[in-house]
Every structure is written in C-alpha cells, then in structure tokens.
Chain A
C-alpha cells in the first residue's frame, strides 16, 4: 500500500492547482464544455460533483479492505451511482429550475472520469481522513474550473455575472454559442501551460 505522505492542506491545494481536474488533468471535460455558459450552472454542478466525490471517496476508503480486487471497478461505479441518485433527487426537489438548465449532466456525473480515477488512485489506498481531504481538494478544483469558465463565458458573452448586468453591453456574443465552450477551455489550458513555462524559466534563472 502506497500511503500518501502529504499533509491534509497539501492534499487540498494539490486538487485545486497542481492537479486541477479540468485544466491540468483534462478529465471530465463534458460539463466544462457543455454547460459552462453561466457562473450559476458552474457553481451548482461543482457542488454536486464535490458532494459525490467526497461521499464516494469516504465510502470506498472505509470499505476498501472488503472489496475483491477483480470487481473493484464495478464496485466503484455502483457506489458513485448511488450517491449520484441521491444528489439527483435532492436537486430535482429543491432547485427545479436550475436542475432543468443542467439537464442530463447531473445524472452523467456517474460517468465522469475524475471521480473513478480518484477512487482508484487515492481512496482505495489511503485512510478515510486523507481521502476526505483529497476528495475535497479535487471537488473544489472542479468547482474552481467550472466557475472560471462560467465567469469568462458569461461576462464576455452576455455581459452579466450571476444574472446581474455588469458591463451593460455584450462584448463578444460568440461566447454564448455552445461551440465556444471548446475554445474557452482550449484558451484556458494554454494559459495554464504558459504559466507553467514561466515558472520553470524563473526557477532555471535562479
């Protein structure tokens, strides 16, 4: 068993910046492209993913010694599916309008690669507490990515933020188009890459 030696706060920031699920690992891209048209969508789906990630990480980490290695992937999938059913029913009951806007994506959290990957790589090998912090970090990283994308697209596309008029004009209507999701994600990834290059050069100079 490869126990992680990182402290809890390191685990938290690992998920948000160094291994950001959307911009660095390039996992679970479907919602990042599909429904990042507004900040509100990003926040709601981010919270849903955070919830599912934390609960399934804790569940798998707690029962990891009872899972036969050959059926581990189906076990992970079914655990995630159970928690997704829970959050799906809760969202449908309490925020029906936003739930409609997100459409099928809430149910599709089951198939997001990021959750299964964290269960396989981390929760299945580490104790409950550090799995919890890792899951929170990954979930917040996803939330951060979704909100950033939503911020850019909502501000540039329709000139609003969270539904409030900020700019008064619509600078680049193009960003409202569904296809613009691909471009926004591509540009953001390039920004992250150039930041990495910049820091590397700074280190080399020293």
Chain B
C-alpha cells in the first residue's frame, strides 16, 4: 500500500512541475532564443539558416511592449549574420528594457519552406531579473518595514530570538507552498473562467488548506519538529502577508519562477524583520523604560526606527 501511495505523490508532483514548465515557455520550435543587445537592438537566433530576402523585410516583424499592444515599435534596420541564423533588429529609439517585449515573426522562410508564424517574449537577463525580485521583496520593499503588513504576528512573536526564528521558518515554508498553489489556481482556473472576483475567497481558502495540510503531515512525519513549530502554524493564517502575496501575483501577472521568488523573498524578509526586532527587544527587556512605554509602545517606536532605516534602501534598484 505504502509504495503505491508514494508513487502517486511523486507522479502528481511531476505533473504539476510539467504544467508549470509548460506555462512558462511558449517559444516557437524554429527559434532558439531572443535577447536584448545594446541600447536599441533585439537579437533573434534561429535553429537553421533563414532566407535573406525574407529576413530583410521589415513587414515580417512586429514588436511591442507587453502592456501596450497597440503601439508597434518602428524598426530602422535589419542585419542578417553571414551564416543566416541570427537576425539583429535595430530600432530608431532606445528600448525600455525593464518591460517585456513581444516579438511576432510572420511566416518564417527557411530554405524555401515556411516554418509558420512565431510569437516570442524578450526579457532582460533572466536570472538577474529573478534575483532582483527576490532581493526587492526581501529588503528594498520589505513587507513589514516598508509595506506595513503582518504587524500583529510581527509584534506577537518577536519577544525571543528562538520564537522569531521558528515563526519565520514556518511562515516561509507555508508562504511558498500556498503562493504557488494560488498562482496555479489563478492562472489556470480563475482567469480563464473569468472568476477574478472570487480571488479573496479562493486564496484564503488555499492558505487555510495548506496550513491544515502542513499541520497533518508534520504531526505524522516528524513529531519533534511539530512540537517545535506547530504552535506557529495557526498564527500563519492571521498574517496579512500570506494573503497579500497571492493578490500581488495576480495583479502583476507574474509567471511561475517570478512568483516563487516573490514568495520566497516575502518569507525570508519577514524572517529578517522578526530576527532584527527580537534582537532589540531582548535588550529592551532589561532596559529602564518609562512605565507607560513598557511593552508594546516602545516596541512600536523601535519598529518605527527600523522603518526609517529601511527607507534608506528605497530607490535602490539592482540589475
């Protein structure tokens, strides 16, 4: 009985991964890759040599930024590499490379035969972009200190370092799991069926579901770990960040990898905030604080100082 069940679980995981991969890439089979080059160029690499007459005609390419499909960017010149596999499109104006560009290539002609029309997305160096999302969510736009979310749990569990770390780790795990599920639900079920207005109900339902699932699994699999982290699981639902991240993912139309990075960044950012705060609050315990400020008021003022410090990161952009 047991091995069969584990096979089923593995198969389900594989299926989900496969779907995620399919959701990410929708490139044409004849195109190897696209990338930005310099200020105002886009390079398209084909799998084989294409016909020079077809490649040189401007009418075969249509390029626009993803948010404005109506504004076609004008191409000033086209260069074909000597072996006929690389086409460089040069534009009259510099490209806004922070935006995703959509390139439509009409009826690709290679060795006299047509290979069909291809629609591709061009993005900046991808890993750098992902890293900037991660660092952005973690530090520059820290959810606690610059977006003021998740404060109830933040003040409740930042009295001791050990509690803070336990809460942070539990939260990160649940955050990543539930954000990925919410992303999947939104992209493949809610959006195609035009049920966007149900997102709050669905997302919070998924959060409580994943909390319950982690609770049940942990209780059976590792009772020692459950004893250490089980208390924090209930608190996860009461944290606004767990709902804010899926809502942000839905608003910004992130893909799977970007969603994963944002969720991970939000979780780790919360862990960092909790750890910093608990380190200060352990000191405050023994400090001589005025009677009326003891406890929460002084904690709030400390958090305000942290928030001021974190404002120093704003305006920073990496990559």
Contact = CB atoms under 8 A, between A and B. Distances in A.
A185 interface: yes
Contacts of B293: 186, 190, 193
Main secondary structure of the interface of A (DSSP, over half): helix
Interface string A1-35: 00000000000000000000000001111100110
Contacts of A112: 240
B204 A78 contact: yes
A177 B208 CA distance: 35
A77 B204 contact: yes
B15 interface: no
Interface residues of A, number: 41
A110 B243 contact: yes
B205 interface: yes
B147 interface: yes
Contact of A81 (B200, B212, B296, B304): B200
Contacts of A77: 204-205, 208, 237
A186 B204 contact: no
Interface in A102-122: 104, 107-108, 110-113, 116
A169 interface: no
Contacts of A84: 200
A81 B204 CA distance: 7
Interface string A60-78: 0000000000000110011
Given A34-B148, A85-B200, A193-B292, A182 B301 contact: yes
Interface string B286-312: 000001111011111101100110010
Nearest to A180: B304
A111 B240 contact: yes
B197 interface: yes
A181 B208 CA distance: 30
B149 interface: yes
B129 interface: no
Contact of A194 (B148, B201, B248, B292): B292
B297 A107 contact: no
Interface of B: 145-152, 155, 197-198, 200-201, 204-205, 208, 212, 234, 237-240, 242-244, 247-248, 291-294, 296-301, 303-304, 307-308, 311
Given A34-B149, A183-B301, A193-B294, 5 more contacts: A77-B237, A78-B205, A111-B243, A112-B240, A187-B297
Interface of A: 26-30, 33-34, 73-74, 77-78, 81-82, 84-85, 88-89, 104, 107-108, 110-113, 116, 177-183, 185-187, 189-191, 193-194, 197
20 contacts: A26-B155, A73-B208, A78-B201, A81-B201, A82-B201, A88-B200, A104-B248, A107-B247, A108-B240, A111-B204, A111-B237, A111-B238, A113-B238, A179-B145, A179-B307, A179-B311, A182-B301, A186-B304, A193-B291, A193-B297
